[in-house]
């Protein structure tokens, strides 16, 4: 069985890419979630991509050129110029979450050590460093001159990333185009 890869797509081309892959008989997976969108005159339930700009696709090395030549595809995600397969367990976990009947939403990728900003509530506007403490999330604010820090427990859904990790992991993935 061929491995799964992530295709990077042109903006808002997920459904068109899915239709083209279906037309060509190529196995793919476009996870969608339900969202309520408000217009001036109505509220509508819509399906949106869980990972905007990306689609999962199962193919062998010999199909790589065919995939890269699809109109909506910009590249195959990988390390350097080598397409990197997605672990099957990760796709299984996404499928399980979506089939659970529970609310599934996209979420910013945050890691302990990353600079964040609190967007709502009494701490709105506060910037600090994200810390994971057993089952809670904390924001650390430091006073450099005093060499002291303080932390406060926060709700994970009130924060957004500000920048990159302070100490990036040594095995960070890079995005690149796969060439033929």
| pLDDT tens string 133-171 | 777 878 777 656 555 666 778 887 778 888 654 444 433
Partner residues linked to 129 by β-bridges: 115, 140
- Examine domains 4-99 and 114-165 and report if their fold is the same: no
Listed in sequence order, the DSSP H helices in the chain are 14-23, 64-68, 88-99
Please provide the CATH number assigned to the domain covering 4-99. 3.30.70.940
Q: Is the confidence at residue 8, as pLDDT, over 90?
A: yes
Residue for token pair 């185009």: 177
Highest mean pLDDT among 12-26, 37-51, 116-130: 12-26
Give the per-residue pLDDT at 84.
92
SS3 category, 94: helix
CA distances from 130 to 127, 151, 162 (A): 9, 9, 11
The token pair that represents 5 in the structure block: 């890869």
Please provide the CATH number assigned to the domain covering 114-165. 2.30.30.30
The token pair that represents 115 in the structure block: 């600079």
Q: Could you state, in order of their start, the residue ranges of all structural domains in the chain?
A: 4-99, 114-165
Cβ atoms of residues 113 and 130 within 8 Å: yes
Q: Dump pLDDT digits (tens) for 51-108.
A: 999 999 999 989 999 999 999 999 999 988 889 999 988 899 899 888 888 888 786 6
> Bigger pLDDT: 177 or 110?
110
Highest mean pLDDT among 35-39, 65-69, 170-174: 65-69
């Amino acid at each position: 069985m061929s491995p799964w890869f992530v295709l990077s797509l042109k903006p808002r081309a997920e459904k068109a890419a899915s239709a083209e892959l279906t037309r060509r008989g190529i196995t793919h997976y476009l996870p969608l979630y339900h969202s309520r969108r408000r217009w001036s005159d109505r509220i509508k339930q819509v399906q949106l991509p869980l990972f905007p700009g990306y689609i999962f696709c199962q193919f062998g090395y010999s199909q790589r050129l065919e995939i890269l030549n699809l109109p909506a595809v910009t590249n195959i995600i990988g390390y350097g110029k080598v397409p990197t397969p997605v672990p099957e367990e990760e796709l299984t976990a996404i499928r399980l979450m979506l089939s659970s009947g529970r609310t599934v939403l996209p979420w910013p990728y945050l890691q302990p050590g990353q600079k964040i900003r609190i967007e709502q509530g009494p701490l709105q506007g506060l910037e600090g460093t994200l810390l994971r403490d057993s089952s809670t999330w904390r924001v650390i604010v430091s006073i450099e001159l005093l060499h002291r820090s303080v932390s406060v427990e926060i709700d994970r859904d009130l924060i957004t990333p500000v920048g990159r990790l302070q100490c990036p992991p040594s095995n960070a993935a890079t995005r690149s185009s796969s060439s033929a």
